[in-house]
């Protein structure tokens, strides 16, 4: 059974060299798609793919992390780890969607925002923070789906939404299992142990109330059946967009705020 895989086994599946990336899914999910480039401030970050697409006859904005499948592709996409201009491109396209009243669909697949000198110089923290702030109040429906890795703030910067779904083998974590092991136990080789205790699978996040829906990967792993997995994503999006479109913008934004407001556990004495 797919549900009995350990977090570490799922981690291996989403790192599989044939794991489909966003470029594989876009033509299977959308009838038409035009890519749009650049943040209009600094440059175009290929770690983020964004544009305008048509989903079941409806115009939508599509934004997601893009991982390469080989060294040449990864040179361009930086292994799906965006710089600030990637997040700012995403935000530009979201604000464009808001202006033209079309839903935003985000696909999350990153080990995290890039950690480097230039990323810091151009305000990686500010870029992510700004996305969180603006997405919390974006006046159109926003759906986010974690396709593989949902690593930390770099993932969340495309993940403040009305409905948060995950593919069945996807993980989402505050820090990579390797980073977790190296910081808390000073031993990065304990990655497997960390992965299995961090509660990072779609099933864990569903139980914790962070993930709203799990989309099954066809044949137990997306690389075994991309078409089937894309079909499942389409069905999910169809249902979810239809549900969100019935809500007024005021209700949508109130519910979005309350959804994040409610995440957290503490006691008051």
- In the complex, the residues that contact another protein under the rule CB under 8 A are 113, 115-117, 119-126, 128-130, 132-134, 136-137, 152-153, 156-157, 159-160, 172-175, 180, 183-184, 197-200, 204-205, 208, 210, 256-257, 260-261, 263-269
Between residues 120 and 187, which has the closer beta carbon with respect to another protein? 120
Cβ at position 183, least distance to another protein in Å: 7
For the CB of residue 94, give the shortest distance to another protein in the complex, in Å: 14
Cβ distance to another protein smaller for residue 32 or 126: 126
Q: Cα–Cα distance between 79 and 85 in angstroms, integer?
A: 15
Nearer to another protein, 132 or 213 (CB): 132
CB of 76 to another protein, least distance (A): 18
Backbone φ and ψ of 32, nearest 5°: -140, 155
- Nearest alpha-carbon partner for 104 in 65, 60, 64, 134: 60
Q: Smallest distance from the beta carbon of 164 to another protein, in angstroms?
A: 10
- d(Cα 237, Cα 54) in Å, to the nearest integer? 12
- To another protein, the closest distance from the beta carbon of 177 in angstroms equals 11
In the bound state with another protein, the residue whose beta carbon lies nearer, of 93 and 146, is 146
Q: What is the DSSP string of 129-157?
A: HHHHHHHTT-SS-EEEEEEEEEEHHHHHT
- What b/e sequence results for 109-136 when a residue is b if at least 16 CB atoms lie within 10 Å of its CB, and e otherwise? bbbbbbeeeebeebbbeebbebbeeebb
């Amino acid at each position: 059974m797919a549900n009995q895989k350990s977090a570490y086994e799922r981690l291996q599946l989403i790192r599989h060299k044939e794991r489909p990336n966003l470029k594989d899914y876009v033509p299977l999910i959308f009838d038409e798609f035009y890519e749009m480039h650049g943040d209009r401030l600094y440059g175009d970050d290929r770690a983020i793919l964004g544009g305008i697409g048509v989903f079941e006859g409806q115009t939508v904005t599509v934004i997601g992390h893009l991982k390469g499948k080989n060294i040449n592709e990864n040179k361009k996409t930086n292994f799906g780890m965006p710089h600030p201009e990637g997040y700012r491109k995403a935000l530009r396209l979201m604000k464009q969607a808001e202006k033209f009243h079309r839903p935003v669909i985000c696909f999350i697949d990153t080990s995290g925002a890039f950690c480097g000198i230039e990323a810091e110089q151009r305000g990686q923290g500010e870029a992510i923070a700004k996305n969180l702030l603006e997405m919390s109040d974006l006046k159109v429906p926003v759906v986010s789906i974690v396709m593989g890795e949902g690593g930390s703030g770099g993932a969340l910067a495309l993940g403040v939404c009305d409905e948060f779904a995950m593919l069945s083998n996807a993980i989402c974590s505050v820090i990579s299992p390797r980073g977790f092991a190296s910081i808390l136990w000073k031993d990065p080789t304990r990655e497997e142990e960390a992965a299995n205790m961090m509660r990072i699978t779609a099933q864990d996040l569903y139980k914790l109330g962070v993930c709203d829906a799990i989309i099954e990967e066809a044949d137990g792993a997306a690389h075994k059946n991309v078409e089937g997995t894309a079909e499942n994503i389409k069905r999910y999006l169809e249902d979810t967009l239809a549900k969100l479109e019935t809500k007024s913008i005021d209700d949508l934004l109130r519910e979005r705020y309350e959804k994040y407001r409610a995440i957290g556990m503490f006691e008051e004495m």
